[in-house]
Structure 1
Amino acid sequence: MTRALGKDADGPQPDRGRRTVDAPAVARTPTGRKLQLAALVRHLREKRQLTQHEAGREVWPHASAGSVQNKIARLESADTGITPEDLDALLRLYDTSDVHRRLASTLNSDLSQRGRWQGYRSIYSESYRRYVDLEEDAELIRYVSNERIPELLQCEAYVRAEFVHSTDGIEDLTVRASRARQEGVLLRADPPWFYAALSESALRRVQGDEVVMRKQIEYLVALSERPNITVQVVPFSSRSRPNVITHKGILERFALLRLASPGVIGELPRHLDYAFTKVGEELSWSDEVQHYEDLWSRASSAALSPHESRAFLREVARDFR
C-alpha cells in the first residue's frame, strides 16, 4: 500500500486547493510559464477539434504544410516561443475567452533567459537550468536518492566537502548556488511540499569526514521538522517488514516535479507533471512520468514513517560522533 503523502499517515495532503481560471497559478520562471503556455494552447486547440496542421495553416497561410505543423508542435511541446501577434491570431482562431487570452498573454510575456544565468548561477549546465527553474515553480517535489544527499537538502559543510582540492573558485559559487536554491524553494514564505525517500546508503556514504556527516544528518533532522518537508529513510533491512524489498529495483535517483495547471481547472489536468533522472552528474528530462510515479510509490511504501525516519537519522548521527 502506498504511504499517504504528508508529515504522517494522517498528515496534510499536498493540495493547496482548487485553482480557478480567475486565479491561475502563473509560474515564477520563464521555463515554467513556457510549459504552462504550451499546455494551455494545446488544450484550446483540442477543444476546437483542430489538428496542428489546420491551426498552423490559418495563422501562417503562406508557409508549407510541414512548416506550419512543426511550428504548432514545437509550441505545444514548449520547444519554441511565439510572437504576441501570432499568439493573438491563434487565440482568435480558437475562439478563446477574454480570460484565457489575458492568461495566455501573461504566460507569453518576459520569457527571455538573457542574463538570468550569470554569477553563481553560471555553474548550471543547460539541462540543470531547466530543472532549477521548474524546482522553483513546483508545488510538489518528490525525490528518491541513493548514495548521496539530494542537493536541496545539503548543508554547507557537505557541499564544501566535495571540493577539497578545488582552487578555481567553483566551491564558493556552488555554496552560494546551493543556499540560494534552498532559500528560493524550501525556505521561502510559500514553499512547495517536498518529499524525499533516501536510501540508508546516502546517509552512510561519507563525504568529507565524520564531522561533516554528523552536521549533514542533523541538518536533515532540522529540515524534516519543517511543515512542508518530509524525509523518509529506506533502510538496508526492515525487521518490522521483512517481506518488503527495500533496496533492489527501487532506489533509482530521480525527481518528480509538479506544477500548477495554467488556470483551466475542470478542463485540463489539475497538474503538470515532469520527471528528471540523474545518472552520474548528467540530468535528463523523462517523458515516462507514470513509470517514476510507480517507483515513487514503491520507495515511499518501503520507507520508514517520517517519525521513524527522524529517530533513525538521530541514530545515524550518533554513529558519526
Structure 2
Amino acid sequence: MAANVNPTVRRRRLGSELRKLREMKGMTAEEVAARLLVSQSKISRLENGRRSISQRDVRDLCGVYGVEDHRIVDSLMQMAKESRQQGWWHAFGDVPYSVYIGLETDAVSLRAYDSLIVPGLLQTPEYARAVIEGMWPEATVAEVEKRIQVRLKRQERITDQISPVRFWVVLDEAALRRVTGDERIMSEQLEHLVQCSTMPHVTLQILPYSVGAHPGMYGEFAILEFEDASDASVVYLEGMTSDLYLEKPNDVQDYCMMYEHLRALALNPDQSRQFMSQLAQEYAP
C-alpha cells in the first residue's frame, strides 16, 4: 500500500461509490440486502465506510448492480484491498475512536468547538494524562500510557512541517478554568496554547463566560474537511460509548453555521492570546 493511502478514507470513498452505483440502479439498501442474503445494516455500514469492505463484497455488489466495465470493477477492488490495510494507529492495538483518528489523519482542515477540555491536538503530555485518568478512572496504567502515546502521535498533524492540518478552535472559558491535574499543569498547558496559537495554521479563540447563552451549548463537535472533493465533509460528535458522524450536506451546513456564530461571539485571536497568558500567570506557582 502506498504510504499516503489512508484505509479509513478509502473505506468512505469506496462506500460512496457503491452507494452511487446502487442509486443508479434504482435499488434500495433493503432490496440489495435481500438479493445477497445479508442484513440491511451491513449494506448501510458498507456504504457509510464504518465497516471493512472485502473484495468479495465488491464483486457481489457489482454483480447485483450489473457493472460490466472491468476498469470500474478493478478500481473498486483495488480500493477494497487498500481499505483493509492498517493505519498507524493499529500499531497501538484496540484504540478508542479509531475511525475519527483515521479521518483526522487525512483531513486538510479541522474546526473544533470544545467546552470542557483542551482539544487533544493541543494538549501537553501531563495535561493529557490528567484528562485520561480523570475521564477513565478504571483504566490500567498501560491503557493510560497507550492513550497518551496515541494522543501525542496525533499531534503530528499540527507539527508537520510540510502539510499540517489547518486547525481552527473555539474553546470555552470553562475548559481553562477547570483545574485539570493541578495549577502547575494548567499554567504549562495555557502557555502551550499561547505558543500553538502563534502558528500560522492554528487559530485559537476563547469563548468567555460573558457571552452568556450560545449555540455551542448543544455540545462539543468537530468539522473535518478533506482535500479530495469526492470526500464529503464530516461532523464528529464524541460520545461515551459510541460516536456519531454526520455527513448529510444539510447537517454539515447547520454545524458550519453554528461554528461561525461561535467564532463571532468569541474573543479575537489576539485577545484570546492575552486572556490565556494572563490566566497562565494566575496559575503559575
Alpha-carbon deviations, 1:67-97, whole Å to 9, x = none? 4794654432224455436636729944669
Look up the equivalent residue of 2:123 and give its one-letter code.
Q
Matched, 1:149 2:118: yes
1:319 corresponds to which of 278, 282, 285: 282
Distance 2:276 2:169 in 1: 13
Structure 2 regions of 5+ residues with no counterpart?
A: none
- CA-CA distance at 1:308 after TM superposition: 2.3
Residue 255 of structure 1: aligned partner: 222
User: Contact 1:277 / 1:286 at 8 angstroms: preserved in 2?
Assistant: yes
Task: Give the paired residue count.
Answer: 269
Matched, 1:273 2:233: yes
> Percent same amino acid at aligned positions?
28
User: Contact 1:246 / 1:303 at 8 angstroms: preserved in 2?
Assistant: no
Q: 1:84/1:246 Cα in 2 relative to 1: closer, same or farther (>3 Å)?
A: same
- SS of the aligned residue for 1:219 comes to helix
Residue 17 of structure 1: aligned partner: none
- SS of the aligned residue for 1:33 comes to helix
Residue 38 of structure 1: aligned partner: 15
Matched, 1:310 2:273: yes
Alpha-carbon deviations, 1:133-189, whole Å to 9, x = none? 111121221111112111111011212334489873333323212211112x22223
Residue 50 of structure 1: aligned partner: 26
Distance 2:38 2:130 in 1: 52
Distance 2:140 2:99 in 1: 28
Name the structure with the higher helix share: 2
Residue 198 of structure 1: aligned partner: 171
- SS of the aligned residue for 2:233 comes to strand
Residue 129 of structure 1: aligned partner: 98
Structure 1 regions of 5+ residues with no counterpart?
A: 1-25, 57-62, 238-244
Look up the equivalent residue of 2:269 and give its one-letter code.
P
Q: Larger deviation: 249-258 or 219-228? A: 249-258
Distance 2:70 2:215 in 1: 48
Residue 261 of structure 2: aligned partner: 298
Matched, 1:110 2:89: no
Matches within 5 A, 1:62-101: 64-65=34-35, 67=37, 70=40, 73-84=44-55, 87=58, 90=62, 93-94=66-67, 98=71
Matched, 1:284 2:243: yes
- SS of the aligned residue for 2:159 comes to coil
Q: TM-score, normalised by structure 2?
A: 0.77
Alpha-carbon deviations, 1:255-283, whole Å to 9, x = none? 1222344xxx5xxxx5412222235x445
Distance 1:66 1:118 in 2: 31
Q: TM-score, normalised by structure 1?
A: 0.70
- SS of the aligned residue for 1:108 comes to helix
- SS of the aligned residue for 1:293 comes to helix
Residue 200 of structure 2: aligned partner: 227
- SS of the aligned residue for 1:233 comes to strand
User: Contact 1:255 / 1:277 at 8 angstroms: preserved in 2?
Assistant: yes
